[in-house]
Amino acid sequence: MSSVAAQQRRRSVAPAQAPVSADGPRLSRKHREWLAAGLFLAPDVLGLLVFVAVPMVLSIGLSFFQVSGFGSYEWIGLGNYERMMNDPLFWDSMKITGLYVVILVPVLFGVSLGLGLLVKQKLPGVGVFRTALFLPYVISLVVVGVLWKFLLDEQTGVVNRAMRAAGFGGESWLGSPSLALGCVIAVMVWVMMGYYMIIFLAGLQEIPREFYEAARIDGAGPWTTFRTITWPLLRPTSFFVLLMSTVAAITGGLDLIFVLTNGGPANGTSLAIFYIYQQAFGFGEYGYASAMGSFLVLIMVLISAVIFKLTRGGRFDDGE
Amino acid sequence: MASDTMAPRSGRRLLSPRAGLTALAVVLSLISIFPVLWMLTSSFKTRATVTDGNLIPRDFTFDNFVYVFTEVPFARYLWNSFFISAVITVAALFFHSMAAYALARLRFPGREKLFGAIFATLLVTAPVVLIPLFLVARELNLLNSYAGLIIPAIFNAFGIFLLRQFYLGLPKELEEAAVIDGCGHWRVYWNIVLPMSRPILSALAIFFFLANWNAFVWPLVATNDQALTVVQLGIASFQTQYGSNWNYILAASTVAALPMLLLFFAFQRQIVESVKTSGIK
């Protein structure tokens, strides 16, 4: 990074080259470049400001207000946070989110890494496997939700049909809180595994082949090779996957929950993000929902910091 | 190839590890595509046979699709999704490539800081700022309009980041020659840099289109007008309305998923490439 920047700072064109512009007062080459940069950046910077940065700040500000209906804001200080602390439903949703993240992220990590290692092999038809494993990712979570609701139906679903055919009893998959949460996790793994598989594959392909050849000459088995070469050199990719999947798990999946379980049964799949959505757009509690949202962001920042520490920021400069 | 010569060292075994891994890959691939396959074939089944547990429909019918398009303004939903996704994709690529070009190639004070700030917005995930975004959109009179569905969805640092990385890697000689010839920055960008970035632009285009076609939460929040309903919203409300008429619901889902599946098969390489580059920093 820094070397690229330094290279660019080095002037490769003589500064005296500035062509005379015919119109208006003559700007120096340097200033023309500044002006051009400003114009090139204006749309995106303005857009990000209005639709990302301002809402982010607003979100924190809003959390100190009681918002009731159209444009009626009343400053209540930490009132929303106090309410949050005493809201058992919110803490239930946080517990469910914790459980969801703690199961989903490692499973997704393991499955995707396994698939990445698998489709890195020179297997016959490996291109077809990659395609097949990635395919669920292109389908929207709404359609995914509809589809799995059909497959998991207690009476008519294919999953229970198969189980009964194999001699088991059918389960009420979406009917009990813990099973339903398990289903949401399983479906998420099914959707996302191909995406992270490709990311792992890219990371694996970055590892120089000579390392593996050297290991083979040394007589290292597959496990030793994985432990001493693949795993440490894959650290930047692992960091990326851990961080992305954790953030996605905490803030995403709203679409799937809406369609597959709608938070039920008995709030068993009411993730924090779903509860916050309900408070805001179901009951118009924008201030309260913003407080909970800000709290969620804080948690996310903390988790990111922990992952950053654990994976040493995805760097591996301690190796050699 | 080199590994093949090493393999028969200990005599040829009946089941090589490779055959085992291939079998595993076949099984996993089948698990992966099976649900999608089930959706596709079930959408051609009748009301009576949709839950019969057979993959292949016994009495094949197109009626579900006819029903979906005649009972519900599904064509309208599809058009809305297509129009919105296409406009977002084109606008986003245009603005992002401009911004990325400036961040990678132009020299101006505070460039690295600005890039850092833009990059930091990547950490702000959309659902978390949904509420204030809704209030901002309301203040700007963007609710219940195409503009409201389109404009907020354009701005995303992900595209800027990927394009900037790509531009940092481009050879500089071409632009330098053009600058010496007296080309302005706009002409360098438009005539030299844009054509050179066709591969990454096409990869990102498919990625953006896919993401916006599949978008659900923002359209749900920002619209309640039938005329603006996008296909994902259409499916969701169709499902609640038609309860257990799975043949219709699955036909509608198939119609919503099919364009993305076709796009995926046609542009697999580009999609996979864009995913890959997103993981490499």
CA A275 to chain centre: 19
3-class secondary structure per residue, chain A:
CHHHHHHHHCCCCCHHHCCCCCCCCCCCHHHHHHHHHHHHHHHHHHHHHHHHHHHHHHHHHHCCEEECCCCCEEECCCHHHHHHHCCHHHHHHHHHHHHHHHHHHHHHHHHHHHHHHHHHCCCCCHHHHHHHHHHHHHCCHHHHHHHHHHHCCCCCCHHHHHHHHCCCCCCCCCCCHHHHHHHHHHHHHHHHHHHHHHHHHHHHHHCCHHHHHHHHHCCCCHHHHHHHHHHHHCHHHHHHHHHHHHHHHHHCCHHHHHHHCCCCCCCCCCCHHHHHHHHHHHCCCHHHHHHHHHHHHHHHHHHHHHHHHHCHHHCCCCCC
Reported as a single tens digit per residue, the pLDDT across A217-232 is 999 888 999 999 999 9
pLDDT digits (tens, 9 = 90+) for A92-144: 999 999 999 999 999 999 999 999 999 999 999 999 999 999 999 999 999 99
Question: What residue in B sits closest to A288 (Cα-Cα)?
Answer: B131
Mean pLDDT of B176-183: 78
Report the alpha-carbon angle B15-B16-B22, nearest 5.
95
Residues linked to residue A67 through DSSP beta bridges, in sequence order:
A73
pLDDT > 70 fraction of chain A, expressed in percent and rounded: 88
Q: What is the pLDDT of residues B72-96, one digit of tens each?
A: 999 999 999 999 999 999 999 999 9
Confidence of residue A13 (pLDDT cuts 50, 70, 90): very low
H helix or E strand, kind and range, residue B219 = helix B217-222
Q: Which two tokens stand for residue B67?
A: 């029903």
Spatial distance between the Cα atoms of A135 and B29, rounded to a whole number of angstroms: 10
For chain B, how far is it from start to end, CA to CA, in angstroms?
30
Least confident of A71-80, A307-316, B177-186: A307-316
| pLDDT, position B14 | 58
The pLDDT, as a whole number, for residue A25 is 58
Q: Is the pLDDT of residue A68 over 80?
A: no
Q: What is the pLDDT of residue A193?
A: 97
Contact A88, A270 (CB under 8 A): no
Per-residue model confidence (pLDDT) at position A3: 46
Of B32, B103, B276, the CB nearest to A202: B276
Query: According to the model, what pLDDT value does residue B6 have?
Result: 44
Q: Which residues contact B148 (CB under 8 A, 6 or more apart)?
A: B137, B142, B222, B223
Residues of chain B contacting A153 with CB distance shorter than 8 Å: 51
Does residue A84 carry a pLDDT above 90?
A: yes
> What residues does A73 pair with on adjacent strands?
A67
Q: What is the pLDDT of residues B136-170, one digit of tens each?
A: 999 999 999 999 999 999 998 889 988 998 898 88
How does the average pLDDT of chain B come out, rounded? 88
| CB proximity under 8 Å: A 16-75 to B | 17, 19, 30, 32-34, 36-38, 40-41, 43-45, 47-48, 50-56, 58-59, 62
- What is the reported pLDDT for A16? 44
Determine the Cα–Cα distance for residues A51 and A72; give it in Å rounded to an integer.
22
Q: Is A138 on the interface with B (CB under 8 A)?
A: yes
- Which residue do the tokens 């995303």 mark? B156
Contact A122 B214 (CB under 8 A): no
Chain centroid to CA A78: 30
Whole-model pTM: value is: 0.88
The count of other CB atoms within 10 Å of the CB of residue A297 is: 20
pLDDT at A314: 57
Q: Provide the 10 A C-beta neighbour count for residue B143.
A: 17
User: Which residues of A are less than 8 Å from B268 in CB distance?
Assistant: 131
In this structure, the strands spanning A73-75 and A65-67 are antiparallel
Which pLDDT score is estimated for A228? 92
Quote the percentage of chain B above a pLDDT of 90. 58
Confidence of residue A311 (pLDDT cuts 50, 70, 90): confident
CB-based contact B160:B272 (threshold 8 Å): no
Cα B64 to Cα B50: distance, rounded to the nearest angstrom: 11
Instruction: Return the residue of B nearest to A284 by Cα.
Output: B131
Residue in B28, B263, B265 nearest the CB of A115: B28
Mean pLDDT, range A284-301, rounded to an integer: 91
Structure tokens belonging to residue B166: 């790509």
Per-window interface: A 158-197 vs B, CB < 8 A = 158, 161, 190, 193-195
Question: What pLDDT is stored for residue B2 in this prediction?
Answer: 42
Per-residue pLDDT at B183: 79
Please tell me which residue of chain B has the smallest CA distance to A131: B268
Q: Say what the pLDDT of residue B179 is.
A: 76
pLDDT score recorded for residue A18: 45
User: Could B131 and A37 be called an inter-chain contact, meaning their C-beta atoms sit closer than 8 Å?
Assistant: no
pLDDT digits (tens, 9 = 90+) for B1-59: 344 444 444 445 556 888 999 999 999 999 999 999 999 999 999 988 888 888 888 88
* pLDDT 10s digits, A20-43: 444 555 678 788 889 999 999 999
pLDDT at A305: 86
Name residue, tokens 């940069």.
A37
Chain A interface, mutation test: which of B21, B32, B179, B281, most A Cβ atoms within 10 Å?
Answer: B32
**Whether A45 and B118 lie within 8 Å, measured CB to CB:** yes
Chain B hits for A117, CB-CB cut-off 8 Å, are none
